[in-house]
Structure 1
Amino acid sequence: MNTREYPSVRDLWEERAALWADREFLVHEDPDTSKVERYTYARMDREMKAAASMFASLGVEAGDRVGLHMCNRPEFVECFLALAAIGAVVVPIGPASTAAECALVVEECGIRVLVSEFPEDSWRLEGVAVVCLDDGSYEAMKADRAGAPPPRPEVRPGDLLEIMYTSGTTSRPKGVMFTHANAVFSGKYVAWELSLSEADRYLTTMSVTHVNLQLSAFMPAVYTGAALVLVRRYSASRMWSQVRRHRATVIQAMAMIVKTLMAQPVASGERDHSVRAVHYFLPLPKGTKEAFEERYGVRLLNNYGSSETLVGVVTDLPDGRSKWPSIGLAGPGYDVRIAGENGSALPPGECGEIQVRGQAGVSLMAGYWRDEEATRAAFTADGWFRTGDCGYADAEGWLYFVDRMGDIVKRAGENISACEVEVAILEHPDVADVAVLGISDSIRDEAVKAVVVPKPGRRLTAEDVQDFLSLRLSFFKIPSVIEFRDGLPRGEYGKVLKNQLKTQKSTI
């Protein structure tokens, strides 16, 4: 398996747009306004070509990085396809990111053009051209270039397509690099995983800036001709009516979505729908899973992966085979093993690190942006990707997820680096020490908790810390639970014993 086996995203899109010009490609709904927009392949092709010409007029060339800072909206799809067409590199930035977080990504990637929902004067980014979506600038600039053919440089499958920043176990997020081959491989893989076809309608509320939507929904839709139903934001009270109204056959979900849908009042006719599969990420308690499937008359297809592995590398099978709470079997293009501390494969039943082997730039990320050291550290000497997650396999090869080996808090689908939050809190002049950890949350899977040690003689409140962080971190990274102590429990080598913090009471 190598990059030459796959076309570029541009070549794939051109083929599909020519083949399926009049077929519905994208449906977008804004739950706050109830506005629905529909795009055929032909319409999206026109819009993305106008966007490509606009980017070229701004001086964007092959290899240049362009930031896309927006929520779920059709313009993200237009820009993604447009940048892929001219060989530029997509850098998605979450809409909840603060100015400081955005500035970090802009600087590290050398971004000179940023498409955003916010006007240029709210950014104060020197040397960066900001194209605003909501003041009419974006549409006006596209209209000026309508009909102008965009440049068509050589774009190869192994060329860089995207840099996606994701939280890791360090204080700074890392830029995961995806090639064109990565994206097309993902489309083909998920088409297999979900038995996806042109007859399907795939509804998602996941964020367009995240890997789950891009590589497990958007690219599979392009690959197969399925219609992508993109909802601007998740609303528990509206989602199931959206699923029924748009005749969705496949939907994406995570623990928060399942739990909040179960909390909704039972509606007349809620089992009258077209859903054949719920593409789900990581297990639920057996009782919750069974209650959800029984109530809504659906099947959860479980799978496990990360940004670095692109898709659900371990998955239930498309023929219906599963062993809940197993996360599944290794899919095509991947090998998976459970490794001990010495790196050797462990026998069935023994718990160790889940490690994945694939082809870099095809079935695995191409590496971390400008961080060769982190890229090397992510792989074993014999080429296995270290997930940092703990699990085990049974005698038949089914894999089971146990816990995270690193300090990642998983809150409502967001991966939050505990270290990143700790570094931000330590910037407060009254803080002497801090530890951040995830605690159980019945709705969001995990909540962010901070245990703070004030400097001697200083007094702090939870509101003081949260207000301080509000200008430094996205809202979902800010701890919802803050506890104050005289000190932190530490082990022999100074490592904070976070397990004790989950059970001990405050010392202040």
Structure 2
Amino acid sequence: MIENFWKDKYPAGVPSEIDPDLYPNLLAVLKTACQRFADKPAFSNLGETLSYGELYRRSGSFAAYLQGLDDLRPGDRIAIQLPNVLQFPVAVFGALRAGLVVVNTNPLYTEREMLQQFNDAGAKALICLANKADLVEAVLPRTGIRHVIVSEIGDLLSPIRRLMVNAVVRYVKHLVPEYHLPQAVKFTDALAHGKHLPLREVDPPSSEVAVLQYTGGTTGIAKGAMLTHRNLVANMLQCQVMIAAGLGEGCETVITPLPLYHIYAFTFHCLAMLVTGNHNVLITNPRDLPEMIEELKRWRFTCFVGLNTLFAALCNNEEFRRLDFSALKLTLSGGMALQLATAERWRDITGCSVCEGYGLTEASPVVSVNPFRHYRTGTIGMPMPSTLCKVLDEQGNEPPFGSPGELCVKGPQVMKGYWQNPEATAAVLDADGWLKTGDIAVIQEDGYIRLVDRKKDMILVSGFNVFPNELEEVLSTLPGVAQCAAIGVPDRLSGEAIKLLVVAEPGANLTKEDVRRHMRANLVGYKRPKYVEFRDSLPTSNVGKILRRELREEELKKIGGQRTA
């Protein structure tokens, strides 16, 4: 039944299927796009723009340099640890053109995290930012990395601007600690050298792994999701057809604040916007809101991609509210639950509704999205074309439509498995290709899916299931609340009790009783908090997602300390 359920649910113009074999690999996508849109802008950053033609030439030079290294072979892994700068797409596509497997790496990683990922992936080469080269120096002797390429923020800017930007970063802002890596090669030198070397074009099969994307998955330590060329091409095409009615080809300006090393931004900006020849404006540090807003003033942007915490922060900024949004026609949200209050405020300020979607690393990542102009607020839309979804109850059975259960996904974008981890793969991916997401969802009879919460974040209060998303959604409507998180803490009587952690807006005079009164007015008794705590900030991931797990761990440590005191 589920196989045919969505066939007639998609709006007119949205196909129910895509051809995941339209391109044999990502390199064919790159070549086609860069030839077709050679003179169009591809990426802009810090006042410089890289055209599609320049992207192809520079990535070719970098690929030739990598192929010239004697001990690098096709299939070897190369870690790319860069923020949103022009070097990122050049490095990624250069590595792929050299036949290497890209390991996207967070530039904010600690020594421990870097060491774990580099060694698990078996990385032989690394491209890093000079700002973090001191950490590379510390971990390098304990890895199998043989080649290190160091880049500075302004490396692909015009000569004078490059000198100025790199000097400010190093000598004014003091963001480049001392390091000693005598074997390292400068990124600019690698490009210059590769420009004079022959390039042997590779043609990997679609089943070959293109990217190792690390994720915590549904459980445990970070694991490398093996995303093949076919996985990524399929998800690129799925994204393309779902937004085709909203975005044209070669004419859009897309604001890119989410990090390209994150799979959400990687697939959308480096692939879906690539195949459509559109222009990505890279925001290097979205946490610096004043600088980001200054950049926004320079563009008549037509698309903005973000997530709930970023939307909320921008809407609270007076300078942002004064921007010209007359060209904005598509706002995309993913990465975390979009709160209704945030969506409504964004629409009121910008005049553009937020299109919410859902995905996970193991699905390259997009699983579902609201079709353009057919938004159902509070839902994550419909499955991508050629994608099946179902929910399973605790007994592994499919409940009736409208009943919650663990969301399971099947489609050409679902990963090959976890890198060198068959046990973890078997735990989430069955023999028929169904991926267990670890998320609780409801499939509605109209075909739209409503996400309830993470399975592991669910709070069990006296036998009742309580989902933090619902509590946070309610609390976010209380004036004066900037951020909030709901977690379960151990309780002797009810098993678990609800604790709310709240960050108030500057100048707000919120009290715990204000919070309790608001929750009493909007929620049944067992969903009301037992504890309320105000904080100056909440821990967030690299894309701004609030980390409930860290908050729970903090609470458990407190309890453990109290018990041993």
TM-score exceeds 0.5:
yes
Pair 1:386 & 2:436 matched: yes
Q: Distance in 1 between matches of 2:55 and 2:398?
A: 48
Q: Distance in 1 between matches of 2:324 and 2:22?
A: 42
Which residue in the other structure is 2:155 paired with?
none
Which residue in the other structure is 1:376 paired with?
426
Aligned match for 1:116, one of 124, 128, 132: 128
Q: Distance in 2 between matches of 1:199 and 1:20?
A: 11
Q: Distance in 1 between matches of 2:504 and 2:236?
A: 30
Residue 137 of structure 1: how far off its partner (Å): 1.2
Q: Distance in 2 between matches of 1:7 and 1:314?
A: 24
Pair 1:198 & 2:250 matched: yes
What are the residue-to-residue correspondences of 1:200-219 with 2, within 5 Å? 200-219=252-271
What are the residue-to-residue correspondences of 1:44-59 with 2, within 5 Å? 44-59=55-70
What are the residue-to-residue correspondences of 1:234-249 with 2, within 5 Å? 234=286, 235-249=288-302
Aligned match for 2:44, one of 24, 27, 33: 27
**Cα 1:394–1:55 shift into 2, 3 Å:** same
Which residue in the other structure is 1:93 paired with?
105
Residue 84 of structure 1: how far off its partner (Å): 1.2
Residue 58 of structure 1: how far off its partner (Å): 2.2
Residue 376 of structure 1: how far off its partner (Å): 1.7
Q: Which amino acid aligns with 1:152?
A: E
Aligned match for 2:94, one of 82, 90, 93: 82
**Cα 1:36–1:178 shift into 2, 3 Å:** same
Q: Distance in 1 between matches of 2:144 and 2:265?
A: 31
Which residue in the other structure is 2:47 paired with?
36
**Cα 1:443–1:334 shift into 2, 3 Å:** farther
Contact 1:271 1:297 in 2 (8 A): no
Aligned match for 1:344, one of 378, 397, 400: 397
Q: Which amino acid aligns with 2:57?
A: R
Q: Distance in 2 between matches of 1:441 and 1:278?
A: 27
Q: Which amino acid aligns with 1:179?
A: T
Q: Distance in 2 between matches of 1:348 and 1:226?
A: 39
Pair 1:106 & 2:121 matched: no
Q: Distance in 1 between matches of 2:33 and 2:268?
A: 18
Could you report, residue by residue, the CA deviation over 1:420-464 in whole angstroms, capped at 9, with x for unpaired residues?
Answer: xxxxxxxxxxxxxxx9x99655599xxxxxxxxxxxxxxxxxxxx
SS of corresponding position for 1:292: helix
Q: Distance in 2 between matches of 1:382 and 1:56?
A: 38
Q: Distance in 2 between matches of 1:207 and 1:267?
A: 21
Contact 1:205 1:232 in 2 (8 A): yes
Q: Distance in 2 between matches of 1:239 and 1:121?
A: 31
**Cα 1:272–1:326 shift into 2, 3 Å:** closer
Could you report, residue by residue, the CA deviation over 1:218-246 in whole angstroms, capped at 9, with x for unpaired residues?
Answer: 20111111112111120333434433422
What are the residue-to-residue correspondences of 1:439-450 with 2, within 5 Å? 440=501
Structure 2: gaps of 5 or more residues: 1-17, 153-183, 459-467, 473-486, 488-495, 506-545
**Greater displacement, 229-238 / 292-301:** 229-238
Contact 1:166 1:176 in 2 (8 A): yes
Residue 343 of structure 1: how far off its partner (Å): 2.2
Which residue in the other structure is 2:358 paired with?
304
| TM-score, structure 2 as length reference | 0.70
Q: Which amino acid aligns with 1:124?
A: L
Contact 1:53 1:150 in 2 (8 A): yes
Pair 1:404 & 2:458 matched: no
Could you report, residue by residue, the CA deviation over 1:395-420 in whole angstroms, capped at 9, with x for unpaired residues?
Answer: 22221111101259999xxxxxx9xx
Structure 1 or 2: more helix by fraction: 2
Could you report, residue by residue, the CA deviation over 1:6-34 in whole angstroms, capped at 9, with x for unpaired residues?
Answer: 32111221122222221111112xxxxxx
Pair 1:8 & 2:25 matched: yes
Could you report, residue by residue, the CA deviation over 1:257-316 in whole angstroms, capped at 9, with x for unpaired residues?
Answer: 111012112567424442111111254332332122011211200111111112332211
Contact 2:218 2:438 in 1 (8 A): no
**Cα 1:50–1:208 shift into 2, 3 Å:** same
**Greater displacement, 278-287 / 138-147:** 278-287
**Cα 1:316–1:92 shift into 2, 3 Å:** same
Contact 1:49 1:149 in 2 (8 A): no
Which residue in the other structure is 1:222 paired with?
274
SS of corresponding position for 1:39: strand
**RMSD over aligned Cα, in angstroms?**
3.1
Contact 2:224 2:419 in 1 (8 A): yes
**Cα 1:244–1:62 shift into 2, 3 Å:** same
Q: Which amino acid aligns with 1:57?
A: G
Could you report, residue by residue, the CA deviation over 1:461-507 in whole angstroms, capped at 9, with x for unpaired residues?
Answer: xxxxxxxxxxxxxx98995794554549xxxxxxxxxxxxxxxx999
Aligned match for 1:148, one of 172, 178, 197: 197
**Cα 1:2–1:248 shift into 2, 3 Å:** closer
Task: Give aligned-pair identity as a percent.
Answer: 22
Structure 1: gaps of 5 or more residues: 29-34, 412-417, 419-434, 445-474, 489-504
Q: Distance in 2 between matches of 1:81 and 1:266?
A: 36
Q: Which amino acid aligns with 2:346?
A: F
